């Protein structure tokens, strides 16, 4: 599997999941920093990451 395929799948995620993944993995922010950017709690960012990983496992 190519990295481009993974990022294509990430771009297809629901908005909040995609934003959380991009902030943490592409931008290198911490969950606390991502939560501040997204205007939510850290636990919410963690939930979006959990759901994104679950979705990506199914897609990839």
Residue 39, token pair as written in the block: 């205007």
> CA separation (Å) from 16 to 2, 8, 27, 34?
24, 16, 15, 11
Q: What is the DSSP letter of 12?
A: T
pLDDT tens sequence across 6-27 = 999 999 999 999 999 999 999 9
pLDDT at 1: 77
What is the Cα–Cα distance from 29 to 20, expressed in whole angstroms? Answer: 10
Find the length of the chain.
Answer: 60
Residues ≥6 apart with Cβ < 8 Å to 40: none
pTM score of the predicted model: 0.90
Domains, the chain: 3-59 (1.10.10.10)
């Amino acid at each position: 599997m190519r990295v481009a395929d993974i990022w294509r799948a990430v771009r297809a995620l629901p908005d909040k999941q995609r934003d959380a993944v991009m902030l943490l993995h592409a931008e290198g922010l911490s969950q606390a920093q991502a939560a501040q950017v997204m205007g939510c709690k850290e636990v919410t960012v963690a939930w979006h990451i959990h759901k994104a990983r679950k979705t990506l496992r199914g897609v990839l």
